[in-house]
């Protein structure tokens, strides 16, 4: 009973009466089915979520970590070699100045979006189903933004001077930065996004860190005590905590729109046909949500299986995300159609050619991979049979990730490849070193994610407890 | 104030000199000594052209007038020297032949001076030896041969240097059986012979292109490689411009697409075996028009007779102001060509017989006799100078059979490596020399740097072996005093010679000769020839390529990396095939083929060349030189880098062994050849992937099939509406979001006249030399990472005979609304108050965003640190221009260092900058004067006048980036292009 009391002490305000029947609300998820399966008690939730942290790591975890580290090492070699030798070790040329580097950058920024959307926007909209996945989605955001931030740095010819993009007082005369450059806006967008996401994630972790502290002994207790800032679970603490969360969520919400809009201006504000179009900001934002959700799905499907979280990340969660995927995928399809229409309707010969070149040019295969994976494949999720198969959903989520990667590739490389003067038309073929940097980014991401799974609660315990169905009312009687 | 300054400068006048002032003086002294020590001392007796005082100031450029030694054309150059060494060659505006232009080869020759593989000191039997020992031995040998009446042969290229010719004559005269044989690697011997037969004197007439209104050129690449392209290019352009309206017509009749053909108003495809019959047909038609009895009735049918007849009528209409040229060194064609010119009354009008060219003096018959003598083993001593017969002649001369072989060459080339003695020759920039490229025009070459290598000219060597120990300078001077000065009519030789040195040349009346009478008897001996090779066989055409020419410059990396003006391929030679022929044979671009002829076989990659005769396979000479293996590691070294040099260790394939040796000399065109496709493919380093302004048919939307980057129109259309060609398709509203309040007092701008530009690529190498543009190697070119700041875009329209070729020099357009400037996050590229788009290397972090947004794709990124280990080659770097490190962007700066220098000079002279004070490297080098640079804000500047030409347009105007470069549309006299460019609108 002591444990029970302790848990209750940690969630008083968020769920003043967790046992009352859930309020009818206008939210998308019907509330007939319980959000958490298995009739979990509050104690069980704590025990289940903390279990992976407190037992010895499994063989599967070690194997995955070794694989991720190997990928990371490959990336470290690639980036090290490229930094020591020159950007020439990539397949770029005088015509195509960006390839895998910025493709991966935009891809990873996009991946990050789902985390913010789930934790901030869905929090504001009081979508209760988010509670099981928001922690890992936020972690994913942070790791993805880290991976993303890597690329603008290493893509520079002289990455050791990357700090020049910051407006800091310097002794180099009146040297300053160029506020007109979209790349500079990126610097601010990404750094703001990273800061807010990290804060939001960490603040969200504090009550759970306190739970860990209470369960731990020795140095771990000290460490978690320090990390949880002496959380005492009092009503006043909870009230301030709630306020902080709400404020951070409100701060993060505009970022969901702004970050990828700013990233899109790298392209939209420039003169390159295929880039220079006003549809890009919303197009990029929705693409980011789409790809982010696909990545969350991929990770959650693995996590619930490997970490045995089927009761917490239930079919209902998966289905909710599938619906988001169908919805955003359709908007992405609309964006592609709009783009084609705009190009045709503009009557601008360069625009028209840029899109003809995407559709039928030498790299048309990339365009059609993009369209198939992003527009057609998610439509399969309309079918109940497909939604019933976790394997099918997993494959679809992977394909969406592939498709969204190719979307960025098509926008960047295929637009640059053939622009105004036919004499300068060229092509692009990545090198081993570029693959290395890309694989390394995935390695970094998975390494961080695996460490996160092992050392921090993957599921927000205190929030899940607020949505527990009154499965065992007797216990409290 | 002044006294104070004086005290500072003269501390020792102050008796109480402090420790501080003492240290200051010592420091200044050491620094000045170090500065002076770092500079090379001036060459004795050299008279700098523009700076009257011979003092060399560190960091200050001075100019020495001399003569380009890269080929026999003898163009006048001013060598720009810094700290006692030449760093750049510029054409000498005053020079009567080259008129200030300088070709790519000439521009590149400054780098050859600093070639670390040039020979240093004499060699005896394959090992180093001292000049003294060699001289002693050779003097003895020659003295013995003189006594015994041995057979002594002197083999050289065309020598038009009067002093060297005199030395040769003196030397040869010593021996009872002495003879001077000369040959040209790219011969014109048949022309000389034809004039000997028809006019009684062996001469090569000087064509006067500026007087010609109609030019019929049979395989004569006079803008690219034929005899004297700079002079011809300048005159041709002038002639084109002087001609009123559509009166100028240039028709090129050729079997492959040459640079000259690419500029022609009309092209006729003639196989090599058709050239002589076509010329015969032309002459026959001209005879008919002239009302003369036919002397050529025996020659039979004419190929393309209707077309040839039409051309005959056209050329007849401008008789006396026309030119018929033939670049095929074959007696029959040359006789007919000379006859055609005689019928047209061109001799004395457009073909100068009084001042014939001396750039080609070789005699193929004498060469053949020498070959026979060598085969018989009857030559006692063979002196070879200025040519590389072991390479040029594909090993046909049995050099080893001569008892003594003495070679004077710059490098240990194919000939020198097997010679008994090597007395290395100097580079033209470190030697005394003279020349007479055409009769009456005497040019002088003077050293611009103290000899970097221990060398000696042929003239001095011959004198030395005859016991005359005078220096080269004294020999040249003595000859001028005794032979040339008396013809000048001046009284003071020293003054005469001094002035000639300062100018670099002197022009005198040619020696009066009896006038030449036409003797047509030789024509009667012409016999009909077989019209075509065996069915199914191709005819092999061996041609010289712009840059590499006969291969003598194959060791020059700038020229190896120069993208060919026509094919746009660097670093290799290849077998050019018409696309239809290649399709029939199942050969694709880069497929390695074996070309068999009776002479042998070579293996090289195929290149599909538009505008080529279907029955021809064309291969460039000048490749496969020994010593080009040095380029194996020319580019950046990294894990995926591919070597520039093929597995056989040389760049390209030597096509010389396929030259046919006949009784009348070598034949470079027409040998029947068979092709076998091998199962290999070689990537050819082409700087351009797409060769047309027409978009791929599958991707073009209706009404937008053609891009209008290069505008051209016919004379007729242009006359009807002069503004039509430059009229904007999408006029841009002349308004900005905010007023341009940063307008400076001037805006630098440029015009490029596409009607003048011949695509010769002289500007490309001039820019490379001026701006320290690195060489990156074949692999990097293949990866489209060539670094040139100016390139020539080349586009084809149509195919076969109807092919039109458009050349467009492309460089940074210095846009007023530059897209690159707004995207740089760190402000590494900014706009100057004078309209320059500036790149600040040390601020650049290398995001390449600017390059992505550049609509003209003229920005070049330093993908690697390009090798600069060769300390000697680094001497050719321009000290005024930063050598860029890796990771930074670079591009054309409008030679900002020259602008700054001109401003500084004007300010020192206390005057305002005048129009024309700033000459950019590309502009200076252009033989055709296609580039004008200056201040667009100044309404009276030349560039403003040029920019207000109705033909002026800005490229991609609709983007409203407001470039500072205007292109002047090409106007040709071909048929109307309405059909082709109409749907571009």
Q: What is the pLDDT of residues B847-899, one digit of tens each?
A: 999 999 999 999 999 999 998 888 899 999 999 999 999 999 999 999 999 99
Q: Kindly state whether residue B803 falls inside one of the protein's structural domains.
A: no
CA nearest to A152, candidates A79, A256, A217, A219? A79
In chain B, count H helices and then E strands: 29, 41
What proportions of chain B, in percent to the nearest 5, are helix, strand and coil?
30, 20, 50
Mean pLDDT, residues B893-908 taken together? 94
Q: Kindly state whether residue A211 falls inside one of the protein's structural domains.
A: yes
Chosen from A78, A87, A88 to mutate, greatest number of chain B CBs within 10 A: A88
Any idea what the CATH number is for the domain that residue B590 is in? 2.40.40.20
Q: Kindly state whether residue A101 falls inside one of the protein's structural domains.
A: yes
Neighbours of A104 (CB within 10 A): 25
Does residue B1 have a pLDDT over 50?
Answer: no
Q: Given CB atoms, is A356 within the 8 Å cutoff of chain B?
A: yes
Are residues B765 and B714 part of one domain?
no
Q: What is the per-residue pLDDT across A5-26, written as a single tens digit (0 to 9) for each?
A: 343 334 444 444 444 444 444 3
The number of C-alpha atoms within 13 Å of A280 and in the hemisphere containing its C-beta is: 24
Are residues B646 and B579 part of one domain?
yes
B 945-974 near A (Cβ less than 8 A) = 956, 959, 961
Q: Given CB atoms, is B846 within the 8 Å cutoff of chain A?
A: yes
pLDDT band for position A47 (cuts 50, 70, 90):
confident
Mean pLDDT, residues B40-47 taken together? 53
Any idea what the CATH number is for the domain that residue B829 is in? 3.30.70.20
Q: Kindly state whether residue B328 falls inside one of the protein's structural domains.
A: yes
Q: Given CB atoms, is B847 within the 8 Å cutoff of chain A?
A: yes
The pLDDT score that the predictor gives to residue A360 is 92
Say if strands B970-972 and B712-714 run parallel, antiparallel, or are unpaired. Answer: parallel
Q: Kindly state whether residue A475 falls inside one of the protein's structural domains.
A: no
Q: Given CB atoms, is B855 within the 8 Å cutoff of chain A?
A: yes
Are residues B315 and B282 part of one domain?
yes
Please name the helix (run of DSSP H) or strand (run of DSSP E) that holds residue B381, with its range, or none: strand B381-385
The total domain count for chain B is 5
A 274-303 near B (Cβ less than 8 A) = none
Q: Kindly state whether residue B59 falls inside one of the protein's structural domains.
A: no
Q: Kindly state whether residue B112 falls inside one of the protein's structural domains.
A: no
Q: Which residue of A lies nearest to B635 if distances are taken between CA atoms?
A: A88
Q: Which residue of A lies nearest to B705 if distances are taken between CA atoms?
A: A349
Are residues B699 and B552 part of one domain?
no
Instruction: Give the end-to-end CA distance of chain A in Å, rounded to a whole number.
Output: 13
User: Is-contact A42 A7, C-beta < 8 A?
Assistant: yes
Sign of the torsion angle spanned by Cα atoms B601, B604, B606, B612: negative
Contacts of A95 in chain B (CB under 8 A): 784, 857
Instruction: Give the end-to-end CA distance of chain B in Å, rounded to a whole number.
Output: 70
Could you say which of B327, B357, B387 is where a domain stops? Answer: B357
Q: Which residue of B lies nearest to A154 if distances are taken between CA atoms?
A: B847
Give dist(CA B157, CA B408) in Å, integer. 12
User: Is-contact B253 B217, C-beta < 8 A?
Assistant: yes
CA nearest to B573, candidates B588, B560, B556? B560
CA–CA min distance B641, chain A (Å): 9
Q: Kindly state whether residue B740 falls inside one of the protein's structural domains.
A: no
User: Is-contact B104 B762, C-beta < 8 A?
Assistant: yes
* C-alpha R_g of chain A: 24
The partner residues of B206 in beta bridges, in order of sequence, read: B352
DSSP string spanning B629-658? GGGGG-S---TTPPPSS-TTSSSS---GGG
Give dist(CA B173, CA B162) in Å, integer. 16
B 744-783 near A (Cβ less than 8 A) = 780, 783
Mean pLDDT, residues A210-222 taken together? 89
CA–CA min distance A332, chain B (Å): 24
Q: What is the per-residue pLDDT across B312-336, written as a single tens digit (0 to 9) for each?
A: 999 999 988 999 999 999 888 999 9
Mean pLDDT, residues B250-271 taken together? 93
User: Is-contact B635 B777, C-beta < 8 A?
Assistant: yes
Are residues B336 and B261 part of one domain?
yes
The pLDDT score that the predictor gives to residue A314 is 82
The pLDDT score that the predictor gives to residue B978 is 46
Give dist(CA B67, CA B64) in Å, integer. 10
Percent of chain B with pLDDT over 70: 93
Any idea what the CATH number is for the domain that residue B233 is in? 3.40.228.10
Which is more confident, B23 or B555?
A: B555
Are residues B704 and B577 part of one domain?
no
Give dist(CA A370, CA A333) in Å, integer. 10
Q: Kindly state whether residue B330 falls inside one of the protein's structural domains.
A: yes
Q: Which residue of B lies nearest to A360 if distances are taken between CA atoms?
A: B699
Are residues B721 and B758 part of one domain?
no
Q: Given CB atoms, is A87 within the 8 Å cutoff of chain B?
A: yes
Q: Three-state SS across A153-189?
A: HHCCCCHHHHHHHCCCCCCCCCCCCCCCCHHHHHHHH
Beta strands in B656-756 (DSSP E): 660-662, 665-667, 669-681, 685-686, 712-714, 748-753
Q: What is the per-residue pLDDT across A411-429, written as a single tens digit (0 to 9) for each?
A: 999 999 999 999 999 999 9
Among B640, B780, B855, the residue with its CB nearest the CB of A419 is B855
Are residues B698 and B668 part of one domain?
no
Could A157 and B636 be called an inter-chain contact, meaning their C-beta atoms sit closer than 8 Å?
A: no
Q: Kindly state whether residue A13 falls inside one of the protein's structural domains.
A: no
Are residues B703 and B606 part of one domain?
no
**Which residues, other chains included, contact B102 with Cβ-Cβ below 8 Å and sequence gap of 6+?**
B68, B75, B77, B89, B90, B91, B230, B762, B766, B925, B927
Give dist(CA B136, CA B82) in Å, integer. 38
The pLDDT score that the predictor gives to residue B981 is 42
Does residue B984 have a pLDDT over 60?
Answer: no
Q: Given CB atoms, is A469 within the 8 Å cutoff of chain B?
A: no
User: Is-contact B24 B11, C-beta < 8 A?
Assistant: yes
Give dist(CA B98, CA B299) in Å, integer. 40
The pLDDT score that the predictor gives to residue B110 is 95
Could you say which of B314, B336, B357 is where a domain stops? Answer: B357
Are residues B587 and B571 part of one domain?
yes
The pLDDT score that the predictor gives to residue B40 is 58
Could A91 and B698 be called an inter-chain contact, meaning their C-beta atoms sit closer than 8 Å?
A: no
Q: Given CB atoms, is B640 within the 8 Å cutoff of chain A?
A: yes
Are residues B575 and B704 part of one domain?
no
Could B707 and A420 be called an inter-chain contact, meaning their C-beta atoms sit closer than 8 Å?
A: yes
Could A85 and B638 be called an inter-chain contact, meaning their C-beta atoms sit closer than 8 Å?
A: yes
Are residues B962 and B840 part of one domain?
yes
Give dist(CA A134, CA A140) in Å, integer. 10
A 167-206 near B (Cβ less than 8 A) = 175-178, 180-184, 187
Q: Kindly state whether residue B475 falls inside one of the protein's structural domains.
A: no
CA–CA min distance A78, chain B (Å): 11
Q: Which residue of B lies nearest to A159 if distances are taken between CA atoms?
A: B845
B 795-824 near A (Cβ less than 8 A) = 795, 808, 810, 819, 822-824
pLDDT band for position B787 (cuts 50, 70, 90):
very high
Could A88 and B636 be called an inter-chain contact, meaning their C-beta atoms sit closer than 8 Å?
A: yes
Among B825, B860, B861, the residue with its CB nearest the CB of A183 is B825
Contacts of A426 in chain B (CB under 8 A): 689, 784
User: Between the ranges A219-233, A433-447, B738-752, where is the mean pLDDT highest?
Assistant: A433-447
CA–CA min distance A262, chain B (Å): 14
The total domain count for chain A is 1
Q: Which residue of A lies nearest to B688 if distances are taken between CA atoms?
A: A423
Domain span at residue B347 reads 189-357
CA–CA min distance B254, chain A (Å): 26
Among A87, A178, A419, the residue with its CB nearest the CB of B824 is A178
Could A157 and B826 be called an inter-chain contact, meaning their C-beta atoms sit closer than 8 Å?
A: no
The pLDDT score that the predictor gives to residue A253 is 84
Q: Return mean pLDDT, chain B.
A: 88
Q: What is the per-residue pLDDT across B384-437, written as a single tens digit (0 to 9) for each?
A: 999 999 999 888 889 999 999 999 999 999 999 988 999 999 999 999 999 999
Give dist(CA B134, CA B550) in Å, integer. 30
Could B956 and A420 be called an inter-chain contact, meaning their C-beta atoms sit closer than 8 Å?
A: yes
User: Is-contact B101 B233, C-beta < 8 A?
Assistant: yes
pLDDT band for position B734 (cuts 50, 70, 90):
low
Give dist(CA B39, CA B34) in Å, integer. 9
Residue A174: alpha-carbon gap to chain centroid: 39
3 state DSSP class of B428: helix
Chosen from A93, A94, A266 to mutate, greatest number of chain B CBs within 10 A: A94
Domain span at residue A441 reads 59-157+178-456
Give dist(CA B272, CA B538) in Å, integer. 10
CA–CA min distance A180, chain B (Å): 6
CA–CA min distance B574, chain A (Å): 21
Q: Kindly state whether residue A474 falls inside one of the protein's structural domains.
A: no
């Amino acid at each position: 009973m002591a444990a029970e009391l302790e848990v209750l002490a940690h969630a008083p305000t968020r769920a003043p009466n967790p046992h009352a029947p859930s309020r009818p609300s206008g939210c998308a998820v019907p509330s007939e089915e319980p959000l958490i399966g298995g009739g979990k008690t509050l104690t069980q939730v704590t025990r289940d979520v903390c279990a992976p942290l407190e037992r010895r790591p499994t063989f599967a975890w070690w194997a995955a970590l070794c694989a991720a580290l190997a990928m990371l090492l490959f990336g470290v070699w690639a980036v090290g070699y490229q930094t020591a030798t020159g950007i020439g070790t990539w397949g770029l040329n005088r015509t195509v100045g960006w390839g895998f580097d910025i493709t991966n950058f935009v891809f990873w920024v996009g991946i990050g979006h789902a985390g913010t959307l789930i934790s901030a926007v869905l929090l504001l909209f009081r979508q209760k189903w988010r509670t099981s996945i928001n922690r890992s989605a936020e972690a994913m955001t942070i790791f993805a933004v880290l991976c993303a931030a890597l690329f603008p740095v290493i893509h520079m010819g002289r990455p050791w001077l990357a700090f020049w993009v910051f407006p800091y007082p310097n002794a180099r005369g009146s040297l300053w930065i160029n506020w007109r450059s979209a790349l500079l806006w990126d610097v601010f967008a990404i750094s703001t996004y990273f800061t807010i996401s990290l804060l939001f994630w960490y603040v969200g972790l504090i009550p759970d860190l306190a739970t860990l502290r209470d369960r731990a002994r020795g140095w771990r207790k000290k460490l978690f005590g320090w990390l949880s800032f002496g959380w005492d679970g009092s009503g006043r603490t909870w009230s301030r905590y709630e306020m902080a969360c709400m404020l951070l969520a409100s701060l993060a919400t505009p970022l969901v729109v702004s970050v990828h809009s700013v990233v899109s201006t790298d392209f939209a504000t420039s003169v390159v046909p295929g880039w220079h179009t006003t549809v890009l900001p919303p197009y990029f934002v929705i693409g980011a949500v789409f790809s982010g959700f696909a990545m969350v799905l991929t990770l959650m499907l693995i996590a619930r299986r490997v970490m045995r979280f089927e009761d917490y990340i239930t079919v209902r969660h998966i289905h909710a995300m599938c619906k988001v995927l169908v919805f955003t995928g359709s908007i992405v399809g609309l964006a592609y159609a709009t783009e084609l229409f705009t190009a045709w309707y503009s009557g601008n010969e360069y625009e028209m050619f840029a899109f003809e070149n995407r559709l039928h040019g030498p790299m048309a295969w990339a365009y059609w991979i993009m369209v198939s994976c992003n527009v057609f494949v998610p439509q399969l999720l309309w079918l109940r049979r497909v939604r019933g198969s976790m394997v099918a959903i997993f494959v679809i989520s992977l394909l969406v990730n592939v498709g969204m990667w190719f979307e960025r590739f098509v926008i960047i490389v295929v637009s640059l490849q053939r622009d105004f003067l036919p004499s300068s038309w060229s092509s692009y073929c990545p090198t081993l070193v570029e693959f290395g940097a890309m694989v390394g980014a995935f390695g970094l991401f998975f390494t961080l994610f695996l460490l996160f799974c092992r050392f921090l609660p993957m599921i927000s315990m205190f929030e899940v407890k607020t949505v527990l169905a009154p499965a065992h009312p007797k216990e409290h009687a | 104030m002044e006294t104070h300054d004086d005290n500072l400068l003269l501390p020792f006048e102050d008796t109480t000199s402090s420790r501080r002032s003492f240290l200051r003086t010592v420091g200044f002294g050491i620094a000045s000594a170090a500065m002076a020590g770092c500079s090379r001392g001036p060459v004795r007796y050299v008279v700098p052209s523009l700076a009257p005082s011979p003092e060399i100031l560190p960091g200050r450029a001075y100019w020495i007038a001399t003569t380009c030694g890269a080929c026999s054309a003898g163009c006048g150059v001013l060598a720009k020297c810094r700290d006692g060494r030449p760093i750049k060659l510029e054409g000498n505006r005053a020079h009567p032949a080259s008129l200030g232009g300088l070709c790519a080869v000439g521009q590149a020759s400054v780098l050859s001076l600093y070639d670390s593989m040039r020979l240093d000191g004499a060699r005896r039997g394959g090992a180093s030896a001292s000049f003294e020992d060699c001289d002693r031995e050779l003097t003895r040998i020659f003295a013995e041969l003189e006594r015994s009446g041995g057979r002594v042969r002197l083999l050289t290229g065309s020598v038009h240097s009067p002093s060297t010719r005199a030395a040769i004559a003196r030397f040869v005269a010593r021996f009872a059986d002495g003879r001077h044989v000369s040959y040209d690697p790219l011969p014109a011997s048949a022309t000389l012979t034809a004039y000997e037969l028809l006019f009684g004197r062996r001469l090569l007439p000087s064509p006067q292109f500026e007087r010609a209104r109609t030019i019929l050129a049979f395989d004569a690449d006079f803008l690219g490689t034929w005899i004297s392209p700079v002079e011809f290019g300048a005159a041709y352009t002038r002639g084109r411009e002087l001609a009123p309206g559509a009166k100028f017509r240039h028709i090129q009749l050729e079997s492959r697409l040459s640079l000259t053909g690419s500029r022609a108003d009309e092209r006729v495809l003639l196989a090599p075996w058709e050239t002589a019959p076509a010329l015969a047909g032309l002459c026959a038609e001209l005879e008919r028009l002239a009302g003369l009895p036919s002397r050529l009735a025996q020659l039979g049918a004419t190929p393309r007779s209707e077309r040839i007849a039409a051309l005959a009528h056209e050329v007849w209409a401008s008789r006396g102001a026309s030119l018929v040229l033939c670049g095929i060194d074959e007696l029959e064609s040359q006789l007919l060509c000379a006859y055609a010119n005689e019928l047209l009354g061109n001799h004395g009008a457009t073909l100068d017989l009084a001042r014939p060219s001396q750039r080609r003096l070789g005699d193929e018959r004498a060469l053949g006799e020498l070959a026979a003598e060598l085969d018989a083993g009857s030559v006692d001593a063979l002196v070879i100078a200025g040519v590389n017969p072991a390479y040029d002649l594909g090993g046909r001369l049995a050099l080893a059979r001569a008892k003594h072989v003495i070679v004077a060459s710059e490098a240990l080339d194919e000939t020198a490596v097997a010679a008994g003695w090597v007395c290395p020759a100097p580079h033209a920039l470190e030697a005394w020399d003279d020349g007479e490229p055409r009769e009456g025009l005497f040019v002088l070459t003077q050293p611009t740097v103290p000899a970097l290598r221990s060398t000696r000219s042929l003239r001095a060597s011959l004198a030395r072996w005859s016991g005359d120990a005078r220096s080269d300078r004294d020999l040249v001077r003595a000859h001028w005093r005794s032979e040339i000065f008396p013809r000048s009519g001046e009284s003071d030789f020293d003054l005469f010679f001094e002035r000639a040195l300062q100018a670099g040349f002197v022009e005198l009346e040619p020696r009066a000769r009896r006038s030449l009478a036409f003797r047509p008897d030789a024509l009667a001996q012409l016999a009909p020839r077989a019209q075509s090779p065996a069915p199914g066989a191709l005819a092999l055409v061996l041609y010289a390529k712009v840059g590499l020419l006969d291969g003598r410059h194959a060791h020059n990396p700038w020229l190896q990396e120069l993208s060919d003006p026509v094919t746009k391929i660097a670093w290799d030679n290849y077998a050019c095939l018409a696309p239809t022929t290649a399709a029939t044979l199942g050969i694709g671009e880069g497929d390695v083929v074996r070309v068999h002829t009776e002479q042998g076989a070579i293996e090289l990659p195929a290149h599909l060349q538009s505008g080529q005769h279907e029955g021809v396979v064309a291969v460039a000479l000048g490749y496969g030189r020994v010593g080009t293996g040095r380029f194996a590691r020319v580019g950046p070294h990294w894990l995926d880098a591919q070597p520039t040099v093929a597995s056989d260790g040389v760049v390209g394939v030597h096509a010389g062994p396929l030259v046919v040796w006949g009784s009348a000399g070598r034949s470079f065109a027409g040998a029947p050849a068979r092709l076998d496709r091998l199962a290999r493919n070689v990537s050819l380093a082409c700087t351009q992937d797409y060769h047309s302004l027409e978009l791929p048919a599958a991707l073009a939307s209706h009404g937008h099939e053609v891009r209008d980057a290069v505008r051209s129109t016919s004379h007729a259309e242009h006359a009807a509406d002069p503004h039509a060609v430059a009229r904007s398709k999408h006029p841009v509203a002349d308004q900005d979001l905010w007023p341009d309040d940063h307008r400076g007092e001037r805006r630098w701008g440029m015009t490029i006249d596409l009607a003048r530009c011949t695509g010769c690529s002289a500007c490309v190498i001039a820019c490379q030399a001026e701006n320290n543009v690195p060489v990156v190697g074949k692999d990097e070119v293949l990866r489209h990472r060539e670094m040139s700041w100016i390139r020539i875009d080349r586009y084809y329209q149509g195919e076969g005979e109807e092919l039109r070729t458009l050349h467009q020099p492309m460089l940074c357009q210095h846009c007023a609304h530059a897209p690159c400037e707004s995207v740089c996050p760190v402000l590494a590229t900014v706009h100057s108050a004078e309209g320059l788009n500036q790149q600040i290397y040390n601020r650049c972090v290398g995001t390449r965003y600017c390059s992505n947004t550049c609509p003209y794709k003229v920005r070049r990124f330093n993908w690697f640190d390009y090798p600069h280990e060769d300390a000697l080659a680094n001497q050719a770097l321009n000290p005024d221009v930063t050598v860029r490190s890796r990771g930074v962007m670079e591009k054309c700066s409008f030679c900002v260092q020259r602008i700054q220098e001109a401003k500084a000079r004007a300010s020192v002279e206390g005057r305002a900058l005048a129009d024309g004070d700033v000459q950019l490297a590309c502009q200076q080098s252009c033989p055709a004067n296609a580039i004008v640079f200056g201040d667009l804000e100044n309404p009276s500047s030349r560039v403003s006048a040029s920019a207000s030409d109705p033909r002026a347009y800005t490229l991609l105007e609709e983007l409203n980036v407001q470039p500072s470069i205007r292109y002047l549309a090409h106007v040709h006299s071909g048929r109307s292009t309405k059909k082709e460019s109409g749907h571009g609108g």
